Amino acid sequence: MMRETRYEAIVIGAGMSGSWVAKELCDKGVKTLMLDRGPDVKHLKDYPTAGKYPWEYELRGAMSTSHTEANPIASRCYAYKDGATHFFAPDDAQPYIQMQPFDWIKGYQVGGKSLMWARQTQRWSQYDFSTPDTNEFGISWPIAYQDLAPWYSHVEEFIGISGEQDGLDVLPDGVFQPPKEITVVDKHLRHIVKENYKDRHVIYARCAHLTDPKEIHREQGRGQCQNRTICERGCPFGGYFSANSSTIPWALRTGNLTLRANSVVHSIVYDEATGKAEGVKVIDANSKEEKVYYADVVFLNAGSINSTAILLNSQSDRYPNGLGNDNGLLGKYCGFHNYRARISATCPGFEDKVVDGRSPTNVYMPRYVNLDKDKDGFKGAYGVAIYTARYRKQEIEAIGEDLVKDLMKDKNFHSWSIISMMMGETIPKETNSIALDPKAVDQYGIPLVQINIGYDENDEKMMEHFYHEWEKIYKLAGFTNVERIDTNQAPGLDIHEMGGARMGKDPKTSILNANNQLHAVDNVYVSDGACMTSTSYQNPSLTYMALAARAANHYMKSRV
Amino acid sequence: MKRRNAVRSLVIFSLGAGVIYSCKDRYEAIKLLNLKHLEIARNELDILDDLSRMIVPFQEIIELKDHTALPFVLNMVDKLNDATDRQLFIKGYRTFDTETASLKGKAYSAMNKVEKDLLLTELNENELDASPALYQVFNTVKLRSIQYLTTSEYYQRKINYYEMTPSRFYGDVSLMDLNNMNDERD
């Protein structure tokens, strides 16, 4: 293996959190190498379907059975649509072993899943960081909300968040751009909840869309969200945040970033003499050639499962079970979000009202359970994503000329409908784990990942609580045809896999310290989902970005 | 943002021609689809095309007078239906004439418009004691023909007022206001 150019820092993974590390380091003059296993995706140039109209799709957006049969896992993702499939890794791109059913949704390209994420950006609160303590599970977070708050603001200002100042301690406010409109039924529900509950709030769901671009966004070359709602194809306006439209080109413009796509990371190379990581072993995705890149510091941001797997595969005489894995807990205490429970209804009383156009966001109810202790019959928190809509009728009873006349009418709408989805915290358990298969390897000779993650009784109890509470809310709102839904979906489809290398105060019970460094090897930082001590219930990307920016700046401080 | 600003800050996109099918080449268009699962004789194509026109006669809309939904219907069945539904559909179009002859004393192909209307009304109201295969053909042709119309560029632009860039969102609009806004958009 040849000794390649040396960099000061290597960032593994060019997605949501990795691109934030690269931006922060490059802004401060650090010569940085960023590696990604997938091909490059250039903003504007590599969004081939971004301008395609719905009627230009042969199957009008549906996926053929042959395609879904070849990709049963990716096909289950809500954003896996004709026009966006090229941003999802095909199921055979990286096989894995499901010890229990687990849908691992992957985006293997520069930018990662930041291209097709849901763009929901709610902060964690003091309650969320303290839930393991107050609800008595897992271990304590080594940081509190106050430690992350300035980094939330730092990220929010740069990426642009549309939101309202709600003044809630369960969901702290941030740096927001104006909200978009909400629907008439959203307003009704908000009113009903306000009238009947002191501790519950229907708010505009904060999202990473520019509604009033500032100078910092124009400097990035980004413009206002156009309400296209085809975000998962890539946005040529940069209307929503993606690494491709924002942090990566920003870092490249500093002249300090070297981006190497198609670079599959095999492991982090450990130097027994110094007790530090000295580089990263990479396999070229096309030529299969092996190379080692050297650096003073390594940031691991490959996504929760892959970051954990890379650490497990980074074996040496000192760390035979994976880098920094003295306590044997690497790969354990994984979590995800329970998205199984939904409740739907029709909403009478708004027959003379419709929506016009499309919105990229919705409304939301932050947590109202288990704030100070687990008094609600289960442990952990849940929030609720709420979707209201009124669709045009496609199922017309008539036939012939009457059918065509019905279809052409402006008033041909279904009733208003609502579906609310529980976003549930799961309790990290030692048995919910990731490991390397002792025998099977992938096309690069890297051990396959075994994923052993499942639901438990606590998840079921939380769902029952949600159903019960929301049946009451729907009744107060006058909604009818209320129906409980259990999607029975496997973990993973929430695309919020977390943990495996959790942060903690004690090296005996955690892998990372309060600054996202390996306890045992302090020039390795892990600041993606793998670091999460608990999961809370919010979409986690904003928290990953804030943790990543904080970790990069911790390195800069320690370097001085 | 006003439309001109949106367009100015946008790289040029291909508008594309859209997936549309013309009556004039409807059977040629079907050949080009390279259907994997459906083999359809000419007389069966005639029945299916006639059914689509009888159930959803959007050709009466002047802008769509040269369109046919048939290639779209068949393509969707070929690529989206599971094997069971597809086999039922195939059985249905292969036996459509013989079964309607048995039920009504006259094959569908031989019926006049009034007779076809009566038959299709009974099927639509689920009142005909016909086989599941016959119903599969009727329901599939109806569903997909409606979809062809409602997802067409004409319908999206003129009825739904679909705009890609910039688009819009108003969450609380009265139907009367919507009609007025749409009048202005025309």
- Rounded to the nearest angstrom, the gap between the alpha carbon of residue A430 and the centroid of all alpha carbons in its chain is 22
**Res B179 pLDDT > 90:** no
Q: Per-residue confidence at A534, pLDDT binned at 50, 70, 90?
A: very high
Domains of chain A, by residue range, sit at 3-43+66-96+106-559
Query: Closest Cα partner for A148 from A518, A547, A532, A528?
Result: A547
Whether the CB-CB separation of A336 and A496 falls below 8 Å is answered with yes
Angle at A399 between CA A396 and CA A402, to 5 degrees: 85
DSSP state of A489: P
| Polymer length of chain B | 186
Residue A459 pLDDT more than 50? yes
Closest residue, chain A, to B51 (C-alpha): A400
pLDDT digits (tens, 9 = 90+) for B85-102: 999 999 999 999 999 999
User: How many Å apart are CA A72 and CA A25, to the nearest integer?
Assistant: 39
Q: Are residues A210 and A221 in contact, defined by beta-carbon separation less than 8 angstroms?
A: no
| Cα distance between residue A536 and residue A381, in whole Å | 6
Contacts of B13 in chain A (CB under 8 A): 50-51, 236
Query: Tens of pLDDT along A206-250?
Result: 999 999 999 999 999 999 999 999 999 999 999 999 999 999 999
Q: What integer pLDDT is reported at residue B22 of this predicted model?
A: 61
Report yes or no: A439 at the B interface, CB cutoff 8 Å. Answer: no
Residue A393 DSSP symbol: P
pLDDT of B32 reads: 84
Mean pLDDT lowest among A346-350, B2-6, B49-53, B149-153: B2-6
Contact with chain B for residue A56, Cβ under 8 A? yes
Residues A116 and B92: their CA atoms lie apart, in Å, by: 41
**CA angle (B100, B106, B109) in 5-degree steps:** 75
Chain B contacts of A65, Cβ < 8 Å? Answer: 79-82
pLDDT of A202 higher than 60: yes
A5 — pLDDT class (breaks 50, 70, 90): confident
Helix (H) or strand (E) holding A447: strand A447-452
Confidence of residue A408 (pLDDT cuts 50, 70, 90): confident
Which pLDDT does position A539 carry in this prediction?
97
**Residue A319 and residue A518: Cα distance in Å, rounded?**
12
What tokens were used for A505? 């105060």
DSSP A338: E
Residues A512/A503, Cβ–Cβ less than 8 Å: yes
Question: Would you state the pLDDT for residue A186?
Answer: 98
- Other Cβ atoms less than 10 A from the Cβ of A466: the count is 25
CA distance B88 to A2: 63
Cα A560 to Cα B139: distance, rounded to the nearest angstrom: 72
Helices and strands (H, E) in chain A, number of each type: 11, 20
- Please tell me the predicted confidence (pLDDT) of residue B26: 61
Domain A3-43+66-96+106-559 of CATH type 3.40.50.300:
no
Per-residue confidence (pLDDT) for residue A195, from 0 to 100: 98
What's the token pair of residue A171? 């969901």
The total number of residues written for chain A in this structure: 560
Interior/surface letters A305-329, b for 16+ CB within 10 angstroms, e for the rest: bbbbbbbbbbbeeebeebbbbbbeb
Over residues B152-164, mean pLDDT: 91
Q: Which residues in chain A have Cβ-Cβ distances shorter than 8 Å to B146?
A: 394-396, 403, 407
Q: What is the mean pLDDT of residues A541-548?
A: 98
pLDDT cut 90: percent of chain A above it:
95
- pLDDT 10s digits, A38-89: 999 999 999 999 999 999 999 998 999 999 999 999 999 999 999 999 999 9
Dihedral sign (CA A288, A290, A292, A297): positive
Residues with Cβ within 8 Å of A32's Cβ and at least 6 positions away in sequence, in order, are A7, A8, A9, A10, A11, A22, A25, A26, A251, A256, A257, A258
Of B11, B20, B57, the CB nearest to A400: B57
Over residues A9-48, the pLDDT tens digits come to: 999 999 999 999 999 999 999 999 999 999 999 999 999 9
Between residues 231 and 250 of chain A, which touch chain B (CB distance below 8 Å)?
A: 236-237
The residues in B 48-77 lying below 8 A from A, measured between CB atoms, are 54-58, 60-61, 75-76
Q: In chain A, what residues touch B142 (CB-CB under 8 Å)? A: 399
Residue B13 has a pLDDT of 27
Q: Which helix (H) or strand (E) holds B121?
A: helix B113-124
Tell me the ipTM for this assembly: 0.89
Interface contact A316, partner B, CB < 8 A: no
Q: How confident is the model at residue A276 (pLDDT cuts 50, 70, 90)?
A: very high
User: Which residues make Cβ contacts (< 8 Å) with residue A367, sequence separation at least 6?
Assistant: A127, A128, A170, A171, A381, A382, A383, A536, A537
For residue A517, list its beta bridge partners: A525
List the single range of A96-100, A409-413, A550-554, B120-124 with lowest mean pLDDT.
Answer: A409-413
Quickly count helices (H) and strands (E) in chain B. Answer: 10, 1
Task: In whole angstroms, give the CA distance from residue A322 to residue A434.
Answer: 12
Per 3-state DSSP, chain B is made up of helix, strand and coil in percentages (nearest 5) of 65, 5, 30
How far apart, in whole angstroms, are the C-alpha atoms of residue A456 and residue B122?
51
Task: Name the token pair of A66.
Answer: 């042959």
Q: What is the CA radius of gyration of chain B?
A: 20
In angstroms, rounded to a whole number, what is the distance separating the alpha carbons of residues B18 and B16? 6
**Out of A55-59, A131-135, A546-550, least confident range:** A55-59
Radius of gyration of chain A (CA): 23
Contacts of A236 in chain B (CB under 8 A): 10-11, 13
CA–CA distance, A458 with A437 (Å, rounded to integer): 29
- Looking at beta carbons, which residues of chain A come within 8 Å of B16? 52-53, 56
Region A404-418: mean pLDDT is 87
Q: Could you tell me which residues come within 8 angstroms of residue B10 by beta carbon, excluding any fewer than 6 positions away?
A: A236, A237, B165
Average pLDDT of chain A to the nearest whole number? 96
Q: Which residues contact B105 (CB under 8 A, 6 or more apart)?
A: none
Contact A226 B1 (CB under 8 A): yes
- Read off the pLDDT of each residue in A282-311 and give the average, rounded to a whole number: 98
